[in-house]
């Protein structure tokens, strides 16, 4: 089973555990870091909430939601995705973010929730 298929299976199996939903965001076609937040917003079906930066809009949109976001194919945007996850997790305590990256060895890291 490939990692994208695994991401889709995890999201589908997790829907019951996350009251507000689970999404897989495919970042394969995203080439510039500034487009990552836009790709997440589109995948979530988030309405345009005005002139604030998209990342700020996402943080507000997800605040108070119990949800899962899986960032798939983000190996070329690791730093940007890490910053995005940090910002979103700071705004939404019940949010979970997973990242699927291609690499020579699998890496699993346990992290503490962001307070």
pTM of the model: 0.80
Tens of pLDDT, residues 31-65: 999 999 999 999 999 988 778 999 999 999 999 99
pLDDT given at position 28:
92
Instruction: Tell the CATH topology of 3-100.
Output: Barnase; Chain D (3.30.370)
Neighbour count for residue 9 (Cβ, 10 Å): 12
By C-alpha distance, which of 1, 14, 2 is closest to 70? Answer: 14
pLDDT tens digits for 6-19? 666 776 777 788 89
So where are the chain's domains?
3-100
Residue at token pair 């690499």 = 103
Q: What's the confidence (pLDDT) of residue 98? A: 86
Average of per-residue pLDDT values in the chain? 84
Element (H, E) at 25: strand 22-26
Sign of the Cα pseudo-torsion (87, 65, 54, 108, in order): positive
Q: Rounded to whole angstroms, how far apart are CA atoms 58 and 56? A: 5
């Amino acid at each position: 089973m490939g990692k994208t298929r695994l991401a889709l299976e995890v999201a589908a199996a997790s829907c019951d555990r996350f009251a507000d939903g689970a999404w897989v965001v495919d970042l394969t076609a995203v080439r510039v870091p500034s487009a990552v937040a836009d790709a997440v917003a589109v995948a979530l079906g988030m309405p345009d909430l005005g002139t604030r930066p998209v990342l700020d809009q996402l943080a507000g949109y997800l605040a108070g939601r119990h949800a899962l976001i899986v960032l798939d194919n983000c190996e070329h945007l690791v730093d940007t995705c890490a910053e995005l996850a940090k910002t979103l997790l700071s705004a939404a305590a019940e949010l979970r973010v997973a990242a699927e990256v291609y690499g020579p060895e699998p890496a699993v890291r346990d992290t503490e929730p962001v307070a």
